Each structure stands twice: as structure tokens, then as C-alpha cells.
Amino acid sequence: MGMTITQKILADHAGKEVAEPGELINCRVDVVLGNDVTAPVAISEFEKLGRDKVFDQDKIVLVPDHFAPNKDIKSAEQCKLMREFARAKGIKNYFEIGQMGIEHCLLPEQGLVLPGDVIIGADSHTCTYGALGAFATGVGSTDMAAAMATGEAWFKVPGTIKFIYYGQLPRWVSGKDLILHTIGDIGVDGARYMAMEFTGEAIAALSMDNRFTMSNMAIEAGGKNGIIAPDDTTTAYVKERARRSFRLYQSDADATYAEVREYDVSTLEPIVAFPHLPENTKKVSEAQGVKLDQVVIGSCTNGRLEDLQIAAGILKGKKVHPEIRVLVFPGTQQILLEALRRGYVETFVEAGAIVSTPTCGPCLGGHMGILAKGERALATTNRNFVGRMGHPQSEVYLSSPAVAAASAITGEITPPWQV
């Protein structure tokens, strides 16, 4: 009996020949990640273990990105705790704000996460790295603490749902639209504790930036991980960045899947998720006309260079609607620098948008763009739960960068082909 790519990676990291869905196993981990919200709790639990050292100074990554640059005294204390722990334990991959980025944009860029890895992070969107052909999933802070001490984590091996995407993507349709369409189809619990394996000719044609977007939102369907088997696109991306060796895994032809879902993408159009769930999706042509107060372009979902390129291309020579605010959040300092070189930042500023240092701030309703009561935002982020970006009586709509940029010009949700 064959195995899926997820089963193979977990089996190898557990020292087993086979890993069966539902089986409880202990795996060695290649990367342990924490941020300024989750790492302080993990550090506190680690200290209770009485360990003098972390299991590997190279395999722990700490990124202050949620409330950084520090928005208040409490967040400053959180980041200070991380900083001091990293120094005391000799953790090499601590990223201060001048070098940092939004964690799930930063780690792939820095070559810290690679195909075939087992990666855990005390952040639910750790599943992003599945785009590289790795097993990556979010865990709690106590699991992070245990992994920092032992280099291991336990899992129940997930079953796998295979998603096959046929056809050629129409213009303006992106990885964000594919994953929103999928979540709209199966619901926010449709892949609960399942591996979501994305495949098919449409996936093979996607850039790495778009693949990261798809895997990033697997958690929004309840997925344990969202994974794409590595190919030439993956290896071309990784070989420029990898700091160590890696292994490429593929699913066996006779692997068993809990379910197989197939989609013809050739007739899709951009998708918008309405409040207050990512599954509440509509085609942009059905969503147009919704008045907006704010547009956010960025985040770990859509803050990469290709996302900024698309948004800048639409906004070039145009102006933001005078009644709304537009915030652009590049994913990392390197992305910001390259966007500056290419003129994207100039385009955004001349259009009337603001460009921020990399931060998760507005996505989680932390800082740098909070919504007031009754306000509506269209965002390229990943969640639109009640109160996600501010007041409980505000509304968040989710879209791709193309739809967000077009809507920034008109002040209401608008298809990109109309501007």
C-alpha cells in the first residue's frame, strides 16, 4: 500500500517504514518557530523544564512580527523576553525588526524551511511552508516549549484529501482565488485535521508566491497541513536560498486518500469572502458595489513581491478613492527593498496609499490599521472573523491583491478588469 507525501515525511521523521492515518507518532523536527505573541509563553514553559540548553541553536527561529515594532509597553516586554532568551540560549535565528519580516514570508526567503522538513510553529499559519513540499503545521506554545527542549513533537498522522485543479487560470485569477474557492466549497471545517494535498496542471503552473498563498490558508478549511509536491519551480526557488541539504518527497501512485475533489479552474473569476467566515464566498462580479472604508494589501498570505507587483500595476497612474484608506504591508524587509527598487512603493504613495514596515499588525487587529465600529475593510489577509481587524461591529472582506487594488480606486468592491 502506497503513502501520501505527508505520510512519507512523517514516517521518515519518526524512524518508521510506514505512518498510517490516525496513528500517534513522535517525530524529530527540523524547525521550531515562535513569534512575539506565542514564544513568551513557550519560553516560560521551557524554563520550568529546568533545561540549560535548547536542543539545537540552529533549528529554533524567533520572529517579533505581531506587535512589532512595539505598539505599547506590554508588547515591548514580550519582545524583550524573546530577545533575551535568544541571546542567553545562543539561538542564531532571531530576527530583530531591521532584519525581520512577517514570519511566514521570512522563513522561506531566508532558506530556513525546505522540502521534506517537519516544521512546527506556534502560529496557525505555519502551514504556509507546505508549499515547499514540507510537513508544516501550527502548534500550541507548550508544544513549542517541549520541542525546543527535545527536538521532537508528537502528531496524529492525518488522512489526506487530494484537491486536483484542471485547466488554465483566467487572467486575474490567482492562488488566493483558488484557495478561497476551495474553502467556499468544503467549508471552514471541511478538511478538519486532514492534510490538504494540492495538485493538478493549474497548481503546476503557479508561481511559488501563489503556492505559499494556497498552503497558508489550509488552516482556514480546518486542515492540519496544506502541501504541494515539489517540482522544478520549487527546486529553483529553494536552491537559491537553502542553507542545508533537503529531500524531495512525492505521493505514491497507489496512495490512499480519504477524499478526492476536482476543480476546473478555466471558468473561475476572482473570489471575495464576505463576513464573517472565509467560506462565505462569492464571485467578484456578484460582490461588486460593497462600499469600503479601508483596503489592506499584504500579510503572510499576500505580502510577497508578486502580490505587490500586481497591486502596483493596477494602481499605477491612478488615485485611491478619497473616502477610503489604503494600507500596504510588504512581507519582509527584502521584499520592501525590492519593491522600492522596482518603483512599486512610489506608485503606492503617489496613488495615496501608505506603505508600512513589515508587520502582522492590522491582520490580527493588533495595530497599524484597526477598524472602528461599522467600518468595512477589504483585505488580502486570511481571516474575516467577527472583530478580527478591530471593532466587533466592523466587517472584513477577503480578496486577492488584484481585487483589493481595483477596489482601492473605486472605493467599493470592484473587478480588476473594470479599472
User: What per-residue confidence (pLDDT) applies to 18?
Assistant: 94
Question: What class, spelled out in words, does domain 5-262 have in CATH?
Answer: alpha beta
Domain boundaries, the chain: 5-262, 271-414
The pLDDT tens digits along the chain (419 residues) read: 799 999 999 999 999 999 999 999 999 999 999 999 999 999 999 999 989 999 999 999 999 989 989 999 999 999 999 999 999 999 999 999 888 899 999 999 999 999 999 999 999 999 999 999 999 999 999 999 999 999 999 999 999 999 999 999 999 999 999 999 999 999 999 999 999 999 999 999 999 999 999 999 999 999 999 999 999 999 999 999 998 999 999 999 999 999 999 999 999 999 999 999 999 999 999 999 999 999 999 999 999 999 999 999 999 999 999 999 999 999 999 999 999 999 999 999 999 999 999 998 888 888 889 999 999 999 999 999 988 989 999 999 999 999 999 999 999 999 999 99
226 vs 221: CA distance, rounded Å = 10
Question: What class, spelled out in words, does domain 271-414 have in CATH?
Answer: alpha beta
User: What per-residue confidence (pLDDT) applies to 365?
Assistant: 86
Q: Which residue has the cell 513568551?
A: 40
Q: Give yes or no on whether 5-262 and 271-414 have one common fold.
A: yes
User: What per-residue confidence (pLDDT) applies to 101?
Assistant: 92
User: What per-residue confidence (pLDDT) applies to 243?
Assistant: 86
Helix runs in 61-173, H state only: 73-89, 103-109, 141-150
Question: Which residues lie closer than 8 Å to 259 by C-beta, 6 or more apart?
Answer: 161, 162
DSSP bridge partners of 32: 60, 120
User: What per-residue confidence (pLDDT) applies to 329?
Assistant: 95
